[in-house]
Amino acid sequence: MLDREDGRHRHAHAVIILVSVLIGLVLGMVACNMPARTTSLAAAQDAPAATQLESEFTAVAEKVLPAVVRIDVEVGGGAAVGEQPEGMEQMPERFREFFRQFPFFGDPGEGGGPQMPGPRRQGVGSGWIYSADGYIVTNAHVVADATKVTVLLHDRGDNEQPVPATVVGVDPRTELAVVKVDVNRDLPFLELGDSDSLKVASWVMAVGAPLQLEQTVTVGVVSAKSRIIEPDPGLPFRLGDIIQTDASINPGNSGGPLVNLRGEVVGINVAYASPGRVGNIGIGFAIAASTARRVLPDLMQGKQIARGWLGVQIEELNANLEQFYGVDHGVRIAAVDKGGPAAEGGLQVDDVVTAADGTPVRETFDLQREVAGTAPGTTMQLTVMRNKQERTIAVTLGTMPAELAGIPSERAPAVEEEGADWPLGIAVLPISDLTAEIGQSLGIECQQGSIVGLERDKGLVVRDFEPGSAAAGRVVPGDVIDKVNGTAVTTVDQYREQMKAAMEGDQGFVVLHLMRVVNGETMNRVVDIELQ
């Protein structure tokens, strides 16, 4: 009896265990299958959105690519531009200095490859067709000082041959330029879009010829807007209203378009960030289309862009200085050019400008933008805090000097002569050839053609001297040579004649009378330099 009962119990237990195992297996299979089905369902739901986005990208590329070109440039003299990996050393000096300010910046205006010596410098950039009759937009530094420009079109596929192009207009202040090709046919062109309506995280596409790889497309988003790129102190202006993007921009992309999903140009690619110059890291920069819209019509006509000029040096305020001057924003007037518009309007050193024509001025670029964007001859109303009393000062703007706009003056300083044989290795230029930026590089304050505080406006400024020469340690850049062996010199020819006479004589040394402004006063000294 007990054995029979025990058997029944054991049988029941076995059935219960078997049923439990079967239930566990079923539940396990359901649990395993549910995520797969859920994932599959989610993927199925996402597929249409991804396919739609892909279709939009391909449609934009098909529309834009025929209007994007490669630009090849030759500049007389020197070695190849754009054919050294480091990127900048063969660029025109003013642009090389500009990009050198950024320790992370590579210049996207040239192609890759080993440096190749030769009688010409060569560079590669990008551009885009602005009008059906052959006007093409690119960067100013791509065509700077070009002696020959050719453009590779792509509207007829990959069998096109480069065609000659003419540089029509260049504006270094905005880093934009226009070139023209004549091919006897209407060309596909791109429309300027509304860069002001761009939003952070909006999709954008960069198109160009990075590393000489034509018709390259990269996609990303707008990372930030209204960036300001600070130039080297040698350049008196900054690039503002810059779009930052993570669409890949590399050497050769300069001048190419940054477009939105409608295929409209919202930016013109100009630079990229590259720590150690190892390549793009997802930080690229483009000039806003709103900037291009203002200057392209004049550049197409070969006009120099006329900009307002105030004639001051300005500096920003920190919190302590804002409290000291009794303002919560503004920029301080650090210097006023003698005879300039600001001086004539009554602006003074230590004034704090808080608004220009009603627009708040919170940093130096704000005032620079407002002034440069106003036509010369216009009277601008400046809100100024002077001795903690607010007042309004009306200033009639002048025309910005060419050198302040980044345009070389017609009269090149004698010191720029290439290969010049300077006596004792001392390179000079007349005071009359001084510009504000040259003076700044020499550590002297100057206005156009004069040195502030110097008791006379004639003489020769020491621009540089050859390392290891007898002059090293005896003269300093910024010194003014007044006399050579007691004879006054005011021109480079007179300087050369007197130095030549000294070296051909039997005195064995030459005596230079030097002047320099120290603490606002002219200091005079005499140095003797042994003739070698």
Distance CA 175, CA 173 (A): 6
Q: In percent, how much of the chain has pLDDT > 70? A: 74
Q: What is the pLDDT of residues 245-303, one digit of tens each?
A: 999 998 889 999 999 999 999 999 998 876 655 566 788 999 999 999 999 999 999 98
Determine the Cα–Cα distance for residues 229 and 240; give it in Å rounded to an integer: 6
User: What's the whole-model pTM score?
Assistant: 0.62
Q: Which domains does the chain have, with CATH numbers?
A: 65-300 (2.40.10.120), 308-401 (2.30.42.10), 414-530 (2.30.42.10)
**Residue 206 in tokens:** 């960069």
Give the model confidence (pLDDT) of 486-505 as tens digits. 899 988 889 889 888 888 88
For residues 66-78, average pLDDT? 81
Look at residue 218 and tell me whether its pLDDT is greater than 60: yes
- Tell me whether strands 487-488 and 460-465 are parallel, antiparallel or unpaired: unpaired
Q: Is the pLDDT of residue 189 over 90?
A: yes
For 51-63, how does the pLDDT look when each residue is reduced to its tens digit (9 = 90+)?
888 889 999 999 9
pLDDT given for residue 423 in this prediction: 82
Q: Is the pLDDT of residue 147 over 70?
A: yes
**Tokens 């910005």 map to which residue?**
400
- Give residue 486's pLDDT: 85
- For 55, 231, 331, 332, 518, the CA distances from 349, given in Å and listed in that order, are 59, 24, 11, 8, 19
Rounded Cα gap, residues 208 and 506, in angstroms: 64
Q: What is the pLDDT of residues 398-420, one digit of tens each?
A: 988 876 777 654 433 444 444 45
Give the type of residue at 124: V
Which residue bears the tokens 């130096």?
A: 364
| Percentage of the residues of the chain whose pLDDT score is greater than 90 | 39
Alpha helices, DSSP H, located in 198-340: 289-300, 319-325
What is the C-alpha separation between 21 and 488, in angstroms, rounded?
A: 112
Confidence (pLDDT) at 383: 97
Comparison of pLDDT for 104 and 357, the residue scoring more:
357
